[in-house]
Amino acid sequence: MELYAGAGFFTVGLARQFKRVVAVESDRTATGDLERNLAGAGLGGVEVRTSRVETVLSNLAKSRDSKPDAVLLDPPRTGLVRGAAKQLATLGAQRIVYLSCDPATLARDLRIICGDLADERPRYQLSRLVGLDLFPQTPHVEALAVLDSLG
């Protein structure tokens, strides 16, 4: 599952590696571009959902559908909206890969996803964190976090 898929920068690569991909993006123009990019690459097996991420996460939490093996997300600078991090953590994916353009919102969201709260048991552990300086000589840095399920 890919959240905040946009026009498919990661979706095309994921579709080449996985039998089934669910790509979620709220912007209709972006999902139209995503579908054209997939068609142009001759790729199938991708379900494109034009919906807000928190709506999809909420619906998955309520349903008995199978859980995703892995989730890749690249949210906006503001990170996940209130409640979405907890919903993501309860999906039960074996791995979560979170690409962030703001280390502060990444840290906030990971604290919730990993269950680092006094009243909850840990759900995920951070197995890898990589900083990427894509904009040299600016204060901006991308951070890629890989989380593995603890159970």
> What is the reported pLDDT for 48?
97
Length of the chain: 151
Q: Which of 67, 69, 23 is nearest to 44 (CA)?
A: 23
Give the model confidence (pLDDT) of 51-91 as tens digits: 999 999 988 877 766 689 999 999 999 999 999 999 999 88
Going by pLDDT thresholds of 50, 70 and 90, the confidence category of residue 9 is very high
Average pLDDT, the chain: 92
The single-letter DSSP state of residue 86 is H
Question: Is the pLDDT score of 108 beyond 90?
Answer: yes
> What is the reported pLDDT for 116?
63
Question: Is the pLDDT score of 31 beyond 60?
Answer: yes
Question: Is the pLDDT score of 47 beyond 80?
Answer: yes
Mean predicted confidence (pLDDT) in 31-47: 96
Residues with catalytic function: 101
- Asked if 25 contacts 73 with a C-beta cutoff of 8 angstroms, the reply is no
Give the model confidence (pLDDT) of 13-28 as tens digits: 999 999 999 999 999 9
- Asked if 57 contacts 91 with a C-beta cutoff of 8 angstroms, the reply is yes
**Residue 7 in 3-state DSSP?**
coil
Mean predicted confidence (pLDDT) in 125-140: 91
